[in-house]
Amino acid sequence: MKINWNYIKTGLVIGVVFFLFAFAKNRNNTRVLSEINLEFTNSENLYLTEEAVNKLLIQNEVRVKSIGKETLDLNRVETLLESHPMVENAEVFLSIDGKMGAAITQRKPLGRVMAGAPFYIDRQGDKMPLSEFHSARVPLLTGVGEAHLREVYPLMDFIAKDDFLTRHITQLRRREDGKYELYLRKLDFIVVFGEVKDIELKFKNFKAFYQKALKDKKLDAYEKVDLQFGDQVVCTKK
């Protein structure tokens, strides 16, 4: 009987291809993760370091450099990273060459609350601890405690999103009657903001007053500027 060598060769080639595919897949699955690539979104690695991230993983027995890809629980790593008090969000992924990557978004402070134990209020309106690595240049809040964070948050959020207000406002004080006073950089008059309502209207009126007083060179003539009266800005001279 004549042997058809073409069929045999084709079968061998197919067999070799399947063997190589299975070998590559097994090798990829058992490859040891060799390193961690950390990326801080917007390059804001101010309040957290790579060393702190590695320490957090090691403390929780996530030894990325000594375990295989198939044994790494990415959801667990994300949960661990997001449990860090400086992390707002974390996305963890694996590359095809055996490296773990993590894109970390750090929490962003809007103001520093000068309580018995100082802390920040972040852009979500939540309490955020101070960092040992960086001190944020944000307005100071006095007379404010944890119970007032939801109340003051809309005001802080509005200020943080406005370049003019961010440049000029250095401190907010909550009075015992629940009304707020604002203190400005290089100006010694007090801005009485009042209750946290009509925020946009009050600041629109204040900006108009500021530009007019600046043009007239009268910014130093006042000791108090009150924004509580609708469309009016009531000023008290020195």
Q: For 171-186, how does the pLDDT look when each residue is reduced to its tens digit (9 = 90+)?
A: 999 999 999 999 999 8
pLDDT above 50 for 133: yes
Check residue 70 and report its DSSP letter.
G
Is 85:128 a contact under the CB 8 Å cutoff? yes
The residue out of 58, 84, 106 marking a domain boundary is 106
Question: 219 or 53: which carries more pLDDT confidence?
Answer: 219
Summarize the confidence of residues 63-91 as an average pLDDT. 73
In a domain, 177, yes or no: yes
Whether 78 and 91 have beta carbons less than 8 Å apart is answered as: yes
pTM: 0.77
Q: Which of 92, 113, 116, 79 is nearest to 37 (CA)?
A: 92
Give the pLDDT score at 173.
98
Distance CA 193, CA 162 (A): 16
Q: What residue numbers bound the domain in which 203 lies?
A: 109-237
Domain count within the chain: 2
Q: Are both 128 and 191 inside the same structural domain? A: yes
81 shares its domain with 121: no
Q: Average the pLDDT over 135-150 and give the result.
A: 96
Q: Is residue 85 part of a domain?
A: yes
- The reply to whether 91 and 160 lie within a common domain is no
What sections of the chain are H helices per DSSP? 5-30, 50-59, 74-82, 149-160, 163-168, 199-215
